[in-house]
């Protein structure tokens, strides 16, 4: 696997947001300002709560197939590699890692069976579309921590995806979860979310390396980032953190990340979180108007 100098672009965009010239212009701007060679698009599914069996990947909260294909073509025209990461989110704001049900079926309670049927339909829909689009790597979700122990269902899901998609398959586990996915052998590439405290990035990479060498598979951070908020470098995974804006806090974190990456050639890079569609969608994790932008560009040029 070639090194990934990637960015998650406008993740979870609602219907229509990625259509038109404005989205393509922002994609060009991202490419020019960062020197990224890879972009990840994150088409979404939504479910009402973490305990809902049903999910929707065709409604207003989700990117339409044709606009996803169109922005993918635009990215390829810019010379970018394109990965897709279809991701489910909860409309009530609960983090997707909390999606869970009883491990034994209980009358009048939500069940794993119907949920996995819906999740498989979601992933195979985009897998078939990914084959049509020539997508190099398909990530089957992100941070689905409390589903990962359902090994039989995940293996069946991966088999269903392989029946309609012939590219490489990956999965994006959550930070600190790299050694707890029991079906890593079923995917081609391992990935996780690299939101590690600034002082322990190297320590955690050393821990992850042991898992990667045991599985003998490529690994990269499918997400990595830090907010422009005072204190975020110590808890970069906490998107609820409140505080004063601190661009240098974010920049210091990125400097530490790239210093750690530079000494670990087994780690195949990172896809940073994130690049918003426009100023109206700016968020504390974005770096497009911050000093970290120069740090990222310089690191990737080296």
Residue 168: pLDDT above 80? yes
pLDDT of residue 280: 77
Three-class SS of 154-218: HHHHHHHHHCCCCCEEEEEECCCCHHHCCCHHHCCEEEEECCCCHHHHHHHHHHHHHHHHHHCCC
Residue reference for tokens 């119907």: 114
Instruction: State the fold for domain 4-301.
Output: TIM Barrel (3.20.20)
> What would the pLDDT profile of 67-91 be if each residue is shown by its tens digit?
999 999 999 999 999 999 999 999 9
Q: So where are the chain's domains?
A: 4-301
- Surface-to-core class of residue 264, CB atoms within 10 Å of its CB (0-12 exposed, 13-18 middle, 19+ buried): middle
What mean pLDDT is reported for the chain?
A: 97
Q: CB of 40 within 8 A of CB of 7?
A: yes
For the full predicted model, state whether its pTM sits above 0.95.
yes
Mean pLDDT (whole number) for 35-49? 98
pLDDT of residue 279: 78
pLDDT of residue 242: 95
Q: What count of other Cβ atoms lies within 10 Å of the Cβ of residue 150?
A: 20
Mean pLDDT (whole number) for 93-97? 97
pLDDT band at residue 116 under the 50/70/90 scheme: very high
Closest CA to 185 of 159, 224, 221, 222: 159
Report residue 107 as tokens: 């009358």
> What would the pLDDT profile of 180-214 be if each residue is shown by its tens digit?
999 999 999 999 999 999 999 999 999 999 999 99
Report residue 238 as tokens: 């906490």
Cβ neighbors of 230 (< 8 A, separation 6 or more) are 243, 244, 245, 246, 249
Mean pLDDT (whole number) for 129-149? 98
pLDDT of residue 19: 95
Would you call 88 helix, strand, or coil by DSSP? strand
């Amino acid at each position: 696997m070639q090194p990934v100098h990637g960015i998650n672009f406008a993740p979870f965009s609602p219907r229509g947001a990625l259509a038109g010239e404005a989205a393509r212009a922002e994609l060009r701007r991202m490419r020019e300002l960062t020197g990224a060679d890879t972009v990840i698009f994150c088409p979404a599914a939504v479910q009402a709560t973490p305990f809902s069996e049903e999910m929707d990947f065709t409604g207003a909260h989700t990117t339409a197939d044709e606009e996803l294909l169109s922005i993918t073509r635009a990215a390829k025209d810019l010379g970018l590699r394109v990965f897709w990461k279809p991701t489910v989110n909860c409309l009530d704001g609960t983090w997707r890692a909390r999606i869970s049900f009883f491990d034994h079926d209980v009358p009048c309670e939500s069940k794993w069976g119907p949920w996995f049927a819906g999740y498989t339909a979601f992933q195979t829909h985009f897998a078939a579309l990914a084959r049509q689009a020539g997508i190099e790597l398909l990530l089957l979700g992100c941070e689905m921590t409390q589903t990962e122990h359902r090994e039989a269902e995940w293996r069946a899901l991966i088999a269903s995806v392989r029946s309609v998609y012939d590219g490489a398959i990956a999965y994006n586990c959550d930070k600190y979860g790299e050694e707890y996915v029991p079906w890593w052998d079923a995917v081609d590439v391992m990935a996780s979310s690299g939101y590690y405290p600034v002082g322990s990035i190297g320590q955690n990479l050393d821990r992850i390396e042991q898992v990667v060498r045991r599985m003998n598979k490529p690994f990269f951070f499918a997400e990595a980032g830090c907010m422009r908020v005072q204190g975020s470098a110590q808890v970069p995974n906490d998107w609820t953190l409140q505080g004063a804006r601190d661009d240098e806090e974010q920049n210091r974190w990125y400097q530490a990340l790239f210093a750690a990456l530079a000494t670990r050639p087994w780690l195949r890079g990172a896809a940073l979180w994130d690049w918003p569609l426009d100023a109206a969608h700016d968020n504390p994790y974005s770096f497009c108007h911050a000093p970290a932008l120069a740090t990222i560009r310089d690191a990737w040029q080296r």
